[in-house]
C-alpha cells in the first residue's frame, strides 16, 4: 500500500475525498460492495457494524447498526440508487429507517483504474451548504469521512 493521505475538498454542498489504493479496481469494488467486507471496516474510528440485511442492487436497501465507542447504537438505512460494477456505487442515506432522517445526503463512490492500482473518489452530496455545515457540526461528518476511508485503507492492506 502506498502511504499517502486522503485528499479532502469541500465544495458548496459537497465533500469529496480522494485516495489511491495499490490494489486492482475489482478488489476495491468488492471491499466496498460485499456485506462480509463492509462489516469489517465501515465507519469512523472506534465504530463497529452489524448488518441486518443487504440487497446490493439498483434500488436495493442496506440496513445496519453502527455501534459507537460511546456505547450507543445508531441505526442506518441506505438505498442503492445506481451501481455500475466496478466503476461506481451511488446511494442515498435514509436516516435510521424508522422515520428519523436527521442525516440526509447522497454518496457517489467512484473507482478509477490507475496503473495497477485504483483511485477512489467518495463524494457526499448534501441538499445545501447549510445542511453540510449542520451535519458536520453535530456529527463531525468530514473527519468521520476521513476516518471511514482510513479504515478502508487499513482493511485493504495486504489484500492486493
Question: Do residues 80 and 92 lie in contact, with contact meaning Cβ atoms separated by under 8 Å?
Answer: no
Question: Residue 9, Cβ neighbours under 10 Å: how many?
Answer: 11
**pTM for this predicted structure:** 0.91
Residue burial 102-124, b: 16+ Cβ < 10 Å; e: rest: ebebbbbbbbeeeeebbbbbbbb
Question: Average pLDDT in the 56-60 region?
Answer: 98
* Confidence at 103, pLDDT banded by 50, 70, 90: confident
Residues 148-157 have pLDDT tens digits of 999 999 999 8
The ranges assigned to domains in the chain are 7-156
Q: What CATH code is assigned to 7-156? A: 3.30.530.20
Question: Do residues 124 and 103 lie in contact, with contact meaning Cβ atoms separated by under 8 Å?
Answer: no
Amino acid at each position: 500500500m502506498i502511504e499517502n493521505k486522503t485528499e479532502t475538498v469541500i465544495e458548496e454542498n459537497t465533500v469529496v475525498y480522494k485516495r489511491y489504493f495499490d490494489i486492482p479496481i475489482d478488489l476495491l469494488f468488492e471491499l466496498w460492495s460485499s456485506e462480509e467486507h463492509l462489516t469489517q471496516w465501515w465507519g469512523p474510528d472506534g465504530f463497529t457494524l452489524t448488518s441486518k440485511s443487504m440487497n446490493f442492487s439498483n434500488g436495493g436497501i442496506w440496513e445496519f447498526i453502527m455501534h459507537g465507542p460511546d456505547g450507543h447504537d445508531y441505526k442506518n438505512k441506505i438505498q442503492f440508487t445506481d451501481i455500475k460494477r466496478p466503476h461506481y456505487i451511488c446511494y442515498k442515506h435514509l436516516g435510521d429507517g424508522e422515520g428519523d432522517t436527521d442525516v440526509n445526503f447522497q454518496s457517489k463512490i467512484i473507482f478509477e483504474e490507475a496503473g495497477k492500482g485504483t483511485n477512489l473518489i467518495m463524494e457526499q452530496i448534501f441538499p445545501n451548504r447549510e445542511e453540510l455545515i449542520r451535519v458536520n457540526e453535530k456529527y463531525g461528518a468530514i473527519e468521520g469521512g476521513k476516518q471511514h476511508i482510513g479504515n478502508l485503507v487499513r482493511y485493504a492492506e495486504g489484500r492486493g
